[in-house]
Amino acid sequence: MAATRLYLDWNATAPLHPAARDAMLRAMDIQGNPNSVHGEGRAARAAVEAARRQVASLTGAEPAHVIFTSGATEAANMVLTPEFRMGRTPLTVNHLYVSAVEHPAVREGGRFAGDDVTEIPVTRDGTVDLAVLEGLLVSHDKASGLPMVAIMLANNETGILQPVAEAAKLVQAAGGLFVVDAVQAAGRVPLDINAIGADFLIVSSHKIGGPKGAGALVTRGEVLMPKPLIHGGGQEKGHRSGTENTIAIIGFGAAAGAALEEFEARNVAITRLRDRLEDGMRQVAPDVIIHGEKTGRVPNTCFFTLPGLKSETGQIAFDLEGVAISAGSACSSGKVGESHVLAAMGCDPKLGALRISLGPATTEADIDRAIAVLARIAGRRKLAGAAA
């Protein structure tokens, strides 16, 4: 009998949490449009607002400061814009500074012109170079507009945590706007928009066990806001038009509630499992390189290189053994290419790397199976090298 498949790609998407599934099934019986004033509409609105409170609790924000979107990419494109308003007064943001290890949704610059986007380098340990950031902000032309800085809290490939609170102080001193991509951090590290000092947070439903197709832009206030990306009927207080995806939003809220409720227990367990995984990897493949292992990381992520093994070869080998892992970000239309994150850290991107990411359903037996698969792959690699 063939072994059941093992899913170890939680950073790409988390399986639907039972709480989210149950909430969505109940939501399917809600008939009204949440913008209608009749009883059915009010019932839908109440459910959406309950979900808004759940997402707000997960991010340390006020419910009124959560704007629902179709996902993190839309939220990024919404906030990464030169056009803002301070109340009713237009405000110009003339340059965007992004870390070199950002997710493509942020690294592409949103609605900024290419010439108005500057990359901030990272150190060899994968964290943003704060000295360079400070220099860029000091030399920024404030007469032409405000600077915007976008730095992710947790990297999607390595899991490395960025010094966002320290960066926030530099941005505030320069009078700029600070955007934090918290997609991979939500549910894995404590998240509080005010403690971070961010003006905006980006979060995603399907990374925390909610459905795909929902996300949010979380703001620190309601006065400073970007020009809407989607115009229409004025939903979400005019910030994001279009009838709310009620079922997905309710699932998102349930997943956020579960992530907050289970936070401590799930992360203690997952940290222990990742340590077991990496100890086992070193035993079966002593030359394995674990990227970011000496830097603060989210507890569920292991990004590693087996010298001599290409990323696509390794990913296929694991898949043939029934284990789903990734070769980095899963957000490039299924492509397996060189990692811009490794390149930014000063590593040879041609080395290739694989990502194992764990979740609440991962067990010790799953970890042992992954180690055994890695041992077989490492053994075949040695045989191939000897034959050559």
Active site residues: 331
Integer distance in angstroms from the first to the last C-alpha of the chain? 35
